[in-house]
Amino acid sequence: MTDLLGYQGRTCVVTGAASGMARALTESLVELGADVYAIDRVASNVPGVTRSLVADLSDKASIDELFRALPDTFDAFFGVAGLAGVHTSFLDTFTVNFIANKYITDRYLVDRIAPGGSIAYVTSAGGLRWEFPEIRDELTPFTAPERSWDDLVDLTARFDEEHGGELAGFVGYMLSKRALNLLVAERVETFAAKKVRVNAVLPSMTATGMLGDFAEQRGGLDNLKAASTGPAGRLAEPGDMAKALVFLGSDLAGFISGVFLDVDYGMNALELAGINPMRTRWTFAQSLAKQS
Ligand SMILES: NC(=O)c1ccc[n+]([C@@H]2O[C@H](COP(=O)([O-])OP(=O)(O)OC[C@H]3O[C@@H](n4cnc5c(N)ncnc54)[C@H](O)[C@@H]3O)[C@@H](O)[C@H]2O)c1
């Protein structure tokens, strides 16, 4: 039978593999015959992986050590790890969700992904509307290729100060997901020149390790379910996101790059059609001024 997905014998790197979507993804990739390097801040313990590596994505030195331990080249990188921003600071949340992924992309993936390979990031439905010019203008300072890790940390601290200081972790979450979407779009040409595709998956609310944090932030699980259950009539499961990621990294998606895949069973479509209100159509300047 033709191997339409093409993972057999391919080398894949997955971040966040100890839990949730990335764990489900890692299990699927192992089943499909890939050699998987499972990365997390704790041991991933997924049976069948080639190697489980512990790395802290909030720490540049730990990322550098990680990339010394990974193969010189690999075929697919799935950047899934993230923080909900409910129990972490604005800076810590932004660092893991965005600064780490930008650093990995610009410092390592550019040279380490083999031609024909793929990068897929998990951003969020919370990062929708990044493409509107007035929203994008707030993000472009963060995505410039020349920005070093330290520059980005300084810039993030300044963003906090400019908006009154002590921004909540969840603001860091929204900023990070918007910025990562923009980064994907901006890097399409760089990676196309190397025959590498780069895409994003934007999940709706999913029953993973993060669900408790999101429920706490939204006044309990019942409130969260009422606000986040779309046409599917249920929250997403980790496997729903894993399947979309498996697809984007596979040969079936061989001509797909720069795509922002809403895995939300139509929730964003309802907003685009004007059937439901567009929830995230605000700039940080507008939204944070209102709160202060
Ligand atoms: N669950 C949702 O409703 C939802 C919705 C939209 C987007 N997302 C995004 O999906 C992605 C996957 O999250 P999940 O929902 O599977 O949650 P999860 O909490 O189950 O998994 C996140 C994983 O990231 C790892 N991680 C966190 N900080 C790290 C660090 N500093 N270094 C290394 N690993 C670290 C955690 O240990 C964990 O294994 C995240 O980027 C999240 O923002 C989740």
- In CATH, what number is assigned to the domain containing residue 226? 3.40.50.720
Residues above pLDDT 90, as percent of the chain: 96
For 141-159, the pLDDT digits (tens) are 999 999 999 999 999 999 9
**Nearest protein CA to atom 23 of ligand 1, as residue:** 16
CB 98 within 8 A of CB 176: yes
For 217-272, the pLDDT digits (tens) are 999 999 999 999 999 999 999 999 999 999 999 999 999 999 999 999 999 999 99
C-alpha 154/C-alpha 180 separation (Å) is 18
Question: Residue 1 domain-assigned?
Answer: no
Task: State residue 1's pLDDT score.
Answer: 77
Q: Which of 86, 85, 94 is nearest to 154 (CA)?
A: 94
Dihedrals phi, psi of 198, to nearest 5 degrees: -140, 130
Q: Other CB atoms closer than 10 Å to residue 21's CB: what's the count?
A: 31
Task: State residue 189's pLDDT score.
Answer: 98
For residue 292, what pLDDT band results from cuts at 50, 70 and 90? low
Query: Considering the chain, what is the average pLDDT of its residues?
Result: 97
Question: Residue 4 domain-assigned?
Answer: no
pLDDT, average across residues 69-85: 98
Domain count, the chain: 1
**188 C-alpha to center of ligand 1: Å?**
24
Question: Residue 187 domain-assigned?
Answer: yes
**283 C-alpha to center of ligand 1: Å?**
25
- The DSSP secondary structure of 87-148, one letter per residue, reads SS-HHHHHIIIIIHHHHIIIIIIHHHEEEEEEEEEE--GGGTTTTSHHHHHHHHHHH-TT--
Question: Residue 2 domain-assigned?
Answer: no
> Is any atom of ligand 1 closer than 6 Å to the C-beta of 276?
no
pLDDT, average across residues 130-143: 98
Q: Is the dihedral of CA 64, 66, 72, 75 positive or negative?
A: negative
Task: State residue 183's pLDDT score.
Answer: 98
Question: Residue 6 domain-assigned?
Answer: no
User: Coil, strand, or helix at residue 241?
Assistant: helix
Question: Residue 58 domain-assigned?
Answer: yes
C-alpha 106/C-alpha 97 separation (Å) is 15
Question: Residue 3 domain-assigned?
Answer: no
| Atom of ligand 1 lying closest to residue 236 CA | 3
C-alpha 139/C-alpha 154 separation (Å) is 15
Question: Residue 89 domain-assigned?
Answer: yes
pLDDT, average across residues 189-217: 96
pLDDT, average across residues 183-196: 98
pTM (2 decimals)? 0.98
> Is any atom of ligand 1 closer than 6 Å to the C-beta of 215?
no
User: Coil, strand, or helix at residue 238?
Assistant: helix
For residue 2, what pLDDT band results from cuts at 50, 70 and 90? confident
> Is any atom of ligand 1 closer than 6 Å to the C-beta of 21?
yes
Task: State residue 290's pLDDT score.
Answer: 73
For 18-74, the pLDDT digits (tens) are 999 999 999 999 999 999 999 999 999 999 999 999 999 999 999 999 999 999 999
**38 C-alpha to center of ligand 1: Å?**
14
- Domain containing 277 equals 11-291
> Is any atom of ligand 1 closer than 6 Å to the C-beta of 210?
yes
Whether 281 has a pLDDT exceeding 70, the answer reads yes
> Is any atom of ligand 1 closer than 6 Å to the C-beta of 127?
no
Whether 83 has a pLDDT exceeding 80, the answer reads yes
